[in-house]
Structure 1
Amino acid sequence: MSAAGTARQTPPATGRREPVFTLPFVNLMVANGLLRVCTYMLIALVPLYALDRGVSTTVAGLTTTLYMGAAVVLRPLSGKLVDTRGRYAVMVVGASLYCAATGLYVLTLPIWALLAARALQGFGFALNGTAVMTLATDLIPESRMSEGIGYLGVEQTVAQLFAPWLALELRGTYGYRTAFAVVFALGVVNLFIRIPLRTVARRLDARRREEASRRGPAEEAAEQVGPEKGPLWSRIVDRDAWRPSSIMFLLMFGAAGINTFMAAYATGHGIANSGPFFTASGLMVAVSRLTAGRLGRRFGTVWVIAPGIALMAAGQLGIWWSPDLSVLMLAGAAYGLGMGAVQPGLNSLAVLSAGRERRGRANSTFFMAMDLSQAIGAVALGAVAGVAGTGAVFPISAGLMSVACVAYVVLRRRGFVG
């Protein structure tokens, strides 16, 4: 890591504790929280809607594949746009694309148009997600970055717990058209809530430009070498943020295994309803995100991230061993507690390793690592499951997490990650 990158990870000590919950940050949380609710409602609704239209399960699966694929494709560009065009502009464009695509679901579209709308929504999701997180990291004090990112992530957990239920209740009572109309209305409200952020975002953009103008010629040249004149990968991946992002890449293989194979494995072991696993995991993610940042600030990041990875690995082994639902729920709690601590911690390291002018690229690097890991992990672990059975997925995932833990500790001692 460059000397500049290392210096940025250690915020200046101050006698005053800077606030996280400023009015703009709360505004951003509320707006993004509404979009999270829309996302999880549509995750529940769209595949079922396609199946009820009479398409095959393969085509129904494409509603998710195209959504995530479009997000992965646009993720590298989203980071560059956020850094060059401004956080607010990219955020509003992304949220508008997402909302417009949602409005199309209210119509009775042919299947090809439904799939196209889902891909358009994926583009909006990528632009919005990178811009929101980058604007958030501009608003959060650097001394409390992990803590603030953790708070921002709580809204995802809350949405994940109740939004699918709400969507299915609306579908069952009023039908798809009403359910989609409710999602669209929430998207429109989310757009209006973002309007007050325009002023503060412009002020932050002006501050970044002023800071860039004060840099010396040598430092400015050093900032430009990797992204503009290096190989293609260096224009996509931030040269400092890739280190903590690579740790997250290894960890998200396990998430792919859980999302894809856990329910089938539990059913094969006599646990008919594995839903409480996700409930326990989601609740502990929320608890962890509310507390881990403060613990990291007090004891140091390593004392949050390393134990968090160990808890995630323990959760994977718990799934593999679980003889009944109670043990499976404990495994979910351990996994959620670890994930809630590790993700904001590594995300904050990725962001603080880059200057303000590269935070968009740093965030897109981190999210690309997560997206690609889940996409590759689902295929790779699927091949493992086909050869050795679904049970083999979980100890292998635990092994990858152990490798990630060792890599983090070693890289930290050598000064490559914070």
Structure 2
Amino acid sequence: MKNDRLWNRDFIAVCISSFFLFMTFYSLAVTLPVYVKDTLQGSTQQIGLVMTYFIIAAVIFRPLAGKWIDELNRRKVIFISLALFMICSFVYVGINSLSALFVLRFLHGVGFGIATTATGAVVIDIIPDQRKGEGIGYFSLFMSLAMVIGPFVGLTIMTHYSIYVLFVVCIVFAVLSFVIGMSARIPERAPREKAKQSWHWKSLIEPKSIPISLSGSVLAFSYGALTTFISIYARELGIEQAASYFFVVFAAMIVLSRPFTGKLFDRMGEHILVYPGIILFTIGMLGLSQSHTTFIFLLMGALIGLGYGALLPSFQTIAIKAAPSHRRGLATATYFVFFDSGYGIGSYVLGIIAEKTNYHTMYFVAGIVVACTTLLYYGLHHRKMRTVAKKVYS
């Protein structure tokens, strides 16, 4: 009888490694904009570029990572990616110019893109088949925890100490991610010789995962406005201290909802989570654009957290389930290529909108974009499922 235990040693190790990986990412994501503006004297557009260079690198290397994790020695792929991510974390301490920071962000993005794709693909094989929705939900919960603790730690250290103290803390996070990640027993697959020789685009991207990944990219476009600009937006509103608590409330809602969202997905399907999730996310972003007080600012963070917490694992699970089992690594890579692309483009484009208008307008535009996810999801996924169901039962 197949073992259906979810919380085993390897699942926990990969989850904790991913947690510290994202702790580094989110701690830097919300603090580097302040560092670029105040210390390096960068513009709003250059603030967006600090995130965009990182994401471009992740997008370029995710498809390759998906191919490598399906065909090569998985342990070596994870070792190299986590090691690169860790080494880059050490270099931030010596950065003193925008050009050097851009180069470092690109290299750091390479390690991040490969590592997150690899760990995301490996954990899928560790999770029992009948508990995929629940398992991926809990795996992404660790990312959500990093989403709250990372920004809080980053902004708190920036307020009371300095960015250089934060860089040292991020080094510790990266080292922990490497050590714990390498302690997991990683399931191996036999090399696939034909796949190794193929460099057709389908050897880098999983076509069946593209429709839902497009929906994810639109969602990520608006999400980029949160991590990249929320700290500066809070400062403009005169509630700078609320910025760190925004992510506390945001992720608390994800944590509170996660135990039942994964089970709902497995038992009742994705639609029951996706449509309410989009509505909550949209209302939260539109409300955020009109915020002037700490209460409304944090309340919108709670609504966005509930929406995002329902959408992210649902879209990722749909992308993975759409692919054959031997292409789950590519499915994971495909989803995050589109997600990261939307995130990077959103950080840059919304930064331009903020520079030309203001942050209120930028968040309003981001909310309208989230609402468009409904049309994409229905047109590319839901309607297709209804058509398949009709053929089956007719």
TM range, smaller chain:
0.7 to 0.9
How far apart in 2 are the matches of 1:293 and 1:304?
Answer: 9
Is 1:35 paired with 2:18?
Answer: no
How far apart in 2 are the matches of 1:59 and 1:381?
Answer: 12
Q: If you compute each CA radius of gyration, which structure gives the higher value, 1 or 2?
A: 1
TM-score (normalizing by structure 1): 0.77
Distance 1:151 1:188, change over 3 A: same
- Three-state SS of the structure 2 residue aligned to 1:358 is helix
My pick for the range that moved more, 68-77 or 311-320, is 311-320
Distance 1:281 1:178, change over 3 A: closer
Is 1:205 paired with 2:174?
Answer: no
Partner deviation per Cα, 1:293-348 (whole Å, 9 max, x = no partner): 11222323332233323332333444456685544544332322122122111211
How far apart in 1 are the matches of 2:34 and 2:293?
Answer: 30
Aligned residue number for residue 279 of structure 2: 310
User: Is the Cα–Cα contact under 8 Å of residues 257 and 397 in structure 1 kept in the other structure?
Assistant: no
Aligned residue number for residue 118 of structure 1: 105
Q: Read off the aligned partner of 1:119 and give its amino acid letter.
A: F
How far apart in 2 are the matches of 1:38 and 1:395?
Answer: 27
Find 1:396's aligned residue among 346, 360, 368. Answer: 368
Taking only the aligned residue pairs, the percentage that are identical comes to 26
How far apart in 2 are the matches of 1:50 and 1:380?
Answer: 18
- Three-state SS of the structure 1 residue aligned to 2:5 is coil
Aligned residue number for residue 245 of structure 1: 213
User: Is the Cα–Cα contact under 8 Å of residues 309 and 342 in structure 1 kept in the other structure?
Assistant: yes
User: Is the Cα–Cα contact under 8 Å of residues 210 and 335 in structure 2 kept in the other structure?
Assistant: yes
How far apart in 2 are the matches of 1:398 and 1:68?
Answer: 20
Map 1:133-212 to 2 at 5 A. 133-170=120-157, 175-197=162-184, 200-201=185-186, 204-206=187-189
- Three-state SS of the structure 1 residue aligned to 2:208 is coil
Find 1:409's aligned residue among 355, 375, 382. Answer: 382
User: Is the Cα–Cα contact under 8 Å of residues 30 and 227 in structure 2 kept in the other structure?
Assistant: no
Map 1:15-414 to 2 at 5 A. 18-50=4-36, 53-57=39-43, 61-107=48-94, 112-170=99-157, 175-197=162-184, 200-201=185-186, 204-206=187-189, 228=198, 232=201, 234-258=202-226, 272=239, 275=243, 277-319=246-288, 325-378=294-347, 389-390=361-362, 392-394=364-366, 396-407=368-379, 408-414=381-387
Distance 1:342 1:65, change over 3 A: closer
User: Is the Cα–Cα contact under 8 Å of residues 48 and 351 in structure 2 kept in the other structure?
Assistant: no
Partner deviation per Cα, 1:164-187 (whole Å, 9 max, x = no partner): 343455456665444323322332
The Cα shift of 1:194 comes to 2.4
User: Is the Cα–Cα contact under 8 Å of residues 83 and 357 in structure 1 kept in the other structure?
Assistant: yes
Q: Read off the aligned partner of 1:300 and give its amino acid letter.
A: G
Q: Read off the aligned partner of 1:87 and give its amino acid letter.
A: R
Distance 1:53 1:259, change over 3 A: closer
- Three-state SS of the structure 1 residue aligned to 2:6 is coil
Q: Read off the aligned partner of 1:93 and give its amino acid letter.
A: I
How far apart in 1 are the matches of 2:123 and 2:64?
Answer: 19
Q: Read off the aligned partner of 2:215 and give its amino acid letter.
A: I
User: Is the Cα–Cα contact under 8 Å of residues 30 and 231 in structure 2 kept in the other structure?
Assistant: no
**Which structure's relative contact order is higher, taking Cα pairs within 8 Å and 6+ residues apart?**
2
Size of the aligned set, in residue pairs, is 381
The Cα shift of 1:48 comes to 4.5
- Three-state SS of the structure 1 residue aligned to 2:182 is coil
Distance 1:27 1:115, change over 3 A: same
How far apart in 2 are the matches of 1:68 and 1:272?
Answer: 29
Partner deviation per Cα, 1:183-223 (whole Å, 9 max, x = no partner): 223322322222332xx32xx224x66xx89xxxxxxx9xx
Q: Read off the aligned partner of 1:252 and give its amino acid letter.
A: A
User: Is the Cα–Cα contact under 8 Å of residues 221 and 366 in structure 2 kept in the other structure?
Assistant: no
Q: Indicate the RMSD between aligned Cα atoms, in angstroms.
A: 3.5
